[in-house]
């Protein structure tokens, strides 16, 4: 069982993050989830889902919600942390997760991580991943990218992060929005080395 730190921020793209959470739990991973206030707003707008303010409430409600979406029983574990919970495991290099994914990732969060700022649990968790040489995957959802955005991405790439924009492929002839979401989530899972069967692999 891997421990994957998952962060939702206020960029458009909560369906990617929620599907990733579902797949990680289905595959038996331990997920430490944290989300921003802006992510709560986006979740309500994009998927008509209310992310609770209290982490204890969020764990129960998220599991109930995801179980309704999938007949497959979850074998993973979910813990939700408040964005100012400095006692959370991901806040220290002495107990980091095996990897961290920020999905979706705002340009503001990306810039803060690139600058080494750690003013909340999301950016602190990312900072810990970089300094401990653990996998950090950022899924930036913006279009177009400015020169500032691109420079920040390059800086993070040089620091060891994976920049994985949610750009679905069409060579496998997707038939639904869910197929497009699954393509992106599959690429994230590949980089986490988590097995999946979301999409048919090229040449298979």
Q: How confident is the model at residue 200 (pLDDT cuts 50, 70, 90)?
A: confident
Q: Measure the CA–CA gap between 146 and 94, rounded to whole angstroms.
A: 36
Tokens describing residue 44: 């309500």
Mean pLDDT is lowest, of 14-28, 55-69, 103-117, 123-137, for: 55-69
The pLDDT tens digits for 29-38 are 999 999 999 9
Q: 33 - beta bridge partners?
A: 6, 80
- 3-class DSSP assignment, residue 148: helix
Q: Please write the tens of the pLDDT for every residue from 142-179.
A: 999 999 999 999 999 999 999 999 999 998 899 999 99
CA 137, CA 73: separation in Å to the nearest integer?
Answer: 26
3-192 — its CATH code?
3.40.50.1950
Identify whether the C-beta of residue 192 lies closer than 8 Å to the C-beta of residue 137. yes
Per domain, the residue ranges of the chain are 3-192
Percent with pLDDT over 70 in the chain: 100
């Amino acid at each position: 069982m891997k421990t994957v730190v998952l962060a939702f921020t206020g960029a458009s793209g909560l369906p990617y993050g929620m599907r990733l959470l579902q797949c990680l739990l289905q595959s038996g991973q331990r997920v430490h989830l944290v989300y921003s206030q802006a992510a709560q707003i986006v979740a309500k707008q994009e998927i008509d889902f209310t992310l609770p303010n209290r982490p204890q409430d969020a764990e129960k409600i998220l599991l109930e919600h995801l179980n309704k979406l999938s007949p497959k029983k979850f074998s993973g574990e979910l813990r939700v942390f408040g964005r100012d919970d400095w006692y959370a495991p991901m806040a220290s290099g002495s107990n980091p997760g095996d990897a961290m994914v920020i999905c979706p990732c705002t340009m503001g969060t990306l810039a803060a991580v690139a600058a080494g700022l750690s003013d909340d649990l999301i950016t602190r968790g990312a900072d810990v991943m970089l300094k401990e040489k653990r996998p950090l995957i950022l899924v930036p959802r913006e279009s177009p990218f400015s020169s500032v955005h691109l420079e920040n991405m390059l800086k993070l790439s040089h620091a060891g992060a994976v920049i994985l924009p949610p750009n679905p492929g069409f060579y496998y002839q997707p038939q639904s929005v869910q197929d497009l979401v699954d393509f992106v989530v599959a690429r994230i899972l590949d980089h986490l080395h988590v097995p999946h069967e979301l999409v048919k692999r090229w040449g298979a």
